[in-house]
Chains A and B, each alone.
Chain A
Amino acid sequence: MSAQPVTSAFVTVTVNGTTYEREVDARRLLVHFLRDDLDLTGTHIGCDTGNCGACTILVDGQNVKSCMLLAVQADGAEITTVEGLAGDGELTPLQEAFSASHALQCGYCTPGMLISATALLRQNPSPTEDEIRKALQGNICRCTGYVNIVEAVQAAAKGGE
Chain B
Amino acid sequence: MLLREVEYARPGTIEDALAILGSNPNARALAGGQTLINVMKARAAAPDVLVDLNGLDELRTIGIGGDGSLELGAMATYSSIMQSPEVHSTRPVIAEVAGMIADVQVRNRGTIGGNVCTGDPTNHFPPLMVALGAEMTVRGPDGERSVPAEEFFLGVYMTQAGPGELLTRITVPAPDGQGDGFAIVPIGRDGTAIVLAAACVRANGTIQEARVALGCVDAVPVRASELESRLAGSDPAESAVREAAKGVAASLDPPSDVHASADYRRHLAEVVAARAVVGAAGKVRR
Contact = CB atoms under 8 A, between A and B. Distances in A.
Interface of A: 1-7, 9, 25-29, 32, 48-50, 53, 56, 62-65, 67-70, 72-73, 75, 116, 119-120, 134-135, 137-139
Contacts of A75: 10
Interface of B: 1-12, 16, 20, 24, 27, 33-34, 37-38, 41, 49-52, 54-55, 79, 102-106, 108-109, 189-190
Contacts of B12: 3
Where chain B touches its partner, the secondary structure class is mixed
Nearest to A8: B8
A64 B79 CA distance: 12
A63 B38 CA distance: 18
A2 B4 contact: no
A76 to B, nearest CB: 10
Given A64-B108, A137-B190, A7 B1 contact: no
Given A2-B8, A5-B20, A50-B106, 10 more contacts: A1-B10, A5-B27, A9-B8, A27-B5, A50-B38, A65-B105, A69-B33, A69-B109, A73-B54, A116-B105
Contacts, number: 104
Q: Which of A5, A73, A119, A135 lies at the interface centre, i.e. has the most chain B CB atoms within 10 A of its CB?
A: A5
B11 A6 contact: no
A3 B9 contact: yes
A116 B103 CA distance: 11
Nearest to B38: A50
A128 to B, nearest CB: 15
Nearest to A137: B103
Contacts of B33: 68-70, 73
A27 B4 contact: yes
29 contacts: A3-B9, A3-B11, A5-B8, A5-B9, A6-B7, A6-B9, A26-B6, A26-B8, A26-B50, A27-B2, A48-B41, A50-B38, A53-B103, A56-B105, A63-B108, A64-B105, A65-B106, A68-B109, A69-B37, A70-B33, A70-B37, A73-B10, A73-B52, A116-B104, A116-B105, A119-B104, A135-B104, A137-B102, A137-B104
